[in-house]
Structure 1
Amino acid sequence: MRFSYILLFIYIALIASCLIITNPLWGYIITIIILTNLLQLKTNIVFLFIYFPIRPFITEFNTGLLFLGDAIIVLSFLQVIFIERDRLKTIFLKSHFMVYFYLFLAFGAATAIVSNVPLASIIFQLRTLGIMSLLVYILCSNYWQPKDLSRIVNTSMITALILSLHGIVEKVFSRTYLFPETWSEWELASVNAERVYGMLANPNVLATYLLIVFWLSFLPIQNDSKITRLYPIIRPIILGTTLLTVSRGAFIAFAVGFAIYLVLTRDLKTLQKLTLSAILAFTFIYYPATSNWTSNIHPIESDEHIEESPEQSSQYDSFFQRITTMLSDDTIQASTEWGRIYIVIKGLELFKNSPVLGHGFGTFGDAATLRYGSPIYEQYEIESRIYSDNQYVNILASTGITGIILLIALIVSLLKKLFPIIGHRERATLIMLTIVLLILASFYNILEDQVFMVYYFTILGYLINFNNFKDVS
């Protein structure tokens, strides 16, 4: 199967047309046109790394594009199943550890039925959690080579650069330029209004995306593209924009992950490049952007739960002040009253009432409850728009100890499967990604972050076929 840059550019042009023709019907037509190119498997998969980072932005203009990425993944999965029908057993044996993930999904759906969660809500949550996992099977087919991974990285770097420049414009022009009008009109506490939300409409999701792309640019991938010459310029822009998101959780997770990766690989060159990028990011992006921050802020709304009180907003004038005040008495008190600590307390209350089975998907703080509500919120006196922003609490409340055991079994089985067949750097990559995932789960519902999971499952699929990496070990 061939990859076509020309077709990729055509896809981009078609998507861009939906910013002008905002009728949903046109979005559906574009979706159908793209989906008809079933034989362009590689191009379609690479396109996902453009689509998902900009989906909130483009669907704000044209809702007809909302399920384009999901449809590409499902059809690509079916295509691989059909083409590889003679070796399906081999593919599924390679990825046998995924059975624990699907048992987790099945268990959460079954307990949700017992809790009288609407079927639509269950299906919605299963789609949110499970759709990206199909990439494991798509990417562990025999059609992928190291150059395909380099295309994904190059595409991601250009996309991240565009999102970063857009974020800088958002910061400098106080969300009055190149920003959807409906977003500009949303109300937000001033502490969050100072953060960059970008095309992903959420500073934490944006920071997580930019940091994983930033990290990918350091991997020793077979990459002879001229775009790699621009990496030293693009990296500081990406990192500087990430600083403007003031996302503490994302920075903590990736800082620990980077440190572990560097210790395992002892890659001093990468450390030097990382240090240089950080200095340039602060000097030429973060400091100028924050120094020129104007006062006429047009706040927008976030899906995340606001944990700081209005009285504390003046404390968070910078990323560094936000980090230093995260454990202050005032922050903890505010979080206990209506923020993350309050959510943890409520989640543990639900867990205590059903510690083994939980209450099921769509019952506490997940994407399904935001859309469809929860049948148990009134009983536990929980506000309807609550979002857990903590994957562990969400899992405990929805699937209990059983769900935790299944996910632990997934990680253990995954490591046991991949460690014997991958090289030293690939082990460091897997360890780093998994640790980042586990830390992010303390701050966000990371399994619902499709932008992060598209990368995690894609890299996982590549690692299963370690022969694809033999030239870069």
Structure 2
Amino acid sequence: MNVNWRDFWFLYVAVILLAVALVVPHSIVGYAVTLVFMALTLFSPKNGLMLLLIYFPTRSFLMQVNPSLKIMGDAIIVIAFLRVLIDSRRDVKSIFKLHVFEWAFILFCAVGAVAGLITGVSLGAIVFQLRAFLVTFILFYVVRRLDVKKEDVLKFLWTTFIIAVVLCIHGIVEKISDRSMLMPQFWVDRMLSPNNRSRIYGLINNPNMLAVFLSISFMLTLYLKRLVVRASTKGILNVGMILMLGITILTYSRGTWIGLIIALVVYMILTRNWRVLVQTVILGVFATAIVYYPVVKAADAYHSQKEMENLPPDQQPEDNGDDLEPGDNGEDQGNDKEHSAASDRLNKTFSSETLEQSSQTGRLFIVKKGFEVFKDHPIIGTGFATYGDSAAKSNPSPIYKDYDITVNIYADNQYIVVITETGIIGVVLFAVFLLGMVVYLWKKRHDTVMAAPVLAVLFGILFCGLIYNIWEDKTFTAYFFMMLGAVATGIEMRRKSLL
């Protein structure tokens, strides 16, 4: 089955409408575009869900320009959920037919909510956190009840590829322009540390989440490449994967690099396709040679030129071309700064200075303090919106004063959040949720070849949970639960039946 680009009309419509909402950033325009997307989802749920592949990776950018677009993702998911319920009205029992890991996650959320109310968290803060966990989790329920076909999976894969390439191109512009082009003014003016300023934040406005998204896109593109036969199409996919790896390197997201390696190893073991390792190494070499180094050089040149233009006339260097030694021209100095910031970030990962700082105010401090809270509330924890989650970051936690926590911390560790906020009961339920998905995908590996890349992604994400609040990130969870739902439909994606 060849890709018919006329089937991607939803992508063209979405780009046009979102462009209008950005050019005319009025709330009425934003709400009108949201209503159009809701109507599309109601009449065509599958195409409506495809809009999420465009929306979530660019959500931060869209919201910054037009804040009224904030509710669009939630609105699309709710409408799709209601449409599924309407279609299931003749079989009421099927509505409540859930997998063990689904029930475990719902009960986990219930424990966190009840514990939060007991601790004294406001109802609004608890609802905030429940939304963070559940709104994209619903996508699994929705997708596995839709009539997902082979062409729908191909549209999912190609849309992901296109959006990933767009984010890569934007990331290159961001890097070369020193965050001064194609960025909202608020982002341009934002002060970042030298180490963080060397990283690409992208339209997703977070280097770690950008790296996670591009890593997932890379895995899906590897899978998509197995489904095509034309050499020209494979070449396009290779170029895209080189861009994805190059920008992933430029995010300097160390944890995501490890997660991607884990995912690739699991994928190779599951598929017994050892060529994936060789292919990834080759693509990585090209990414370093034709993306990473050229972009860094171009960024250094732009930065040096910008600094030169800002110097007063009496401080402008004379250009006689005779006395310059290598490294005296500003470009090499800028290059040194770039590599210094990047190498410092990598070399200091396990340095005594970094570990000491982390134990005082960073991740190690958060983990130690979390276990301190856990010891006082071991059964059901302190509840949602009390320690290091999205809601606690946006709302005052009632326990911080008792434990000498002076700032609204963000844990950047999903597991310590689960341990602290939901106690032993929550930990058991969350473990059933995670391991239940692993077992489910393992059993599905013979039903559809789609199970292998999704299981590989899950193993990578299990590691990423140590360094990010990964299950609260809507971009990742939207993609993952849609992929998991597609696996649940048991579609056979064989090359000979597709192309």
TM-score by length of 2: 0.86
Q: Deviations over 1:396-449 (max 9, x none)?
A: 111111111001112333344443343284453343122112101000000111
Deviation sequence 1:349-382 (CA, Å, 0-9, x none) = 1111112211000001111112112111122121
My pick for the range that moved more, 406-415 or 125-134, is 406-415
Letter in 2 for 1:408: A
Name the SS of the counterpart of 2:407 in structure 1.
coil
Tell me the equivalent position of 1:112.
116
4+ residue segments displaced more than 4 Å: 220-229, 295-298, 313-316, 318-321, 424-427
Q: Match for residue 428 of structure 1?
A: 452
Write the mapping of 1:45-444 to structure 2, written as runs, cut at 5 A.
45-87=49-91, 89-90=93-94, 92-93=96-97, 95-219=99-223, 222=227, 229-294=235-300, 295=303, 317=340, 319=342, 322-423=345-446, 425-444=449-468
Compute the displacement of 1:91 (Å): 6.5
Q: Which residue type is aligned with residue 453 of structure 2?
A: T
Q: Contact conserved, 1:195 with 1:244, CA < 8 A, in 2?
A: yes
CA-to-aligned-CA distance 1:215-256 (integer Å, 9 cap, x gap): 100115656898665111111111101111000011111111
Question: Aligned partners of 2:92, 2:243: CA distance in 1, in Å?
Answer: 43
TM-fit CA distance, 1:125: 0.5
CA distance in 2: counterparts of 1:236 and 1:403, whole angstroms: 41
Q: Distance in 2 between matches of 1:286 and 1:340?
A: 29
- Identity rate of aligned residues, in percent? 32
CA gap 1:383/1:223 in 2 versus in 1, 3 angstroms: farther
Q: Report the Cα offset of residue 31 of structure 1.
A: 0.8
SS class of match (1:381): coil
The answer to whether the Cα contact below 8 Å between 1:91 and 1:141 also exists between their aligned partners in 2 is no
Kept in 1, the 8 Å contact 2:228–2:495? The answer is no
Aligned to 1:22: 25
**How far apart are 1:78 and its partner, in Å?**
1.1
In 2, are the aligned partners of 1:316 and 1:322 still within 8 Å (CA)? no
Aligned letter for 2:159? T
Gaps of 5+ in 1: 299-312
- Alignment CA distance shift 1:405-1:376 (3 Å): same
Question: Is the radius of gyration larger for structure 1 or structure 2?
Answer: 2
Q: Which residue of 1 aligns with 2:47?
A: 43
Task: Answer whether contact 1:91 1:137 (CA < 8 A) is retained.
Answer: no
In structure 2, distance between residues paired with 1:315 and 1:351: 41
Structure 2 unaligned segments of length 5 or more: list them. Answer: 1-5, 308-335
Letter in 2 for 1:405: V
On the 8 A contact 1:335/1:342 being kept in 2, the answer is yes
Alignment correspondent of 2:36: 33
Q: What CA distance in whole angstroms lies between the structure 2 residues aligned with 1:180 and 1:142?
A: 38
Q: What is the Cα-based RMSD across aligned positions, in Å?
A: 2.4
Q: Which amino acid aligns with 2:32?
A: I
SS at structure 1 position matched to 2:401: helix
Mapped partners of 2:64, 2:15: distance in 1:
17
Given that 2:296 and 2:338 are in contact with CA atoms closer than 8 Å, whether structure 1 keeps it comes out as no
Residues matched between the structures, number? 456
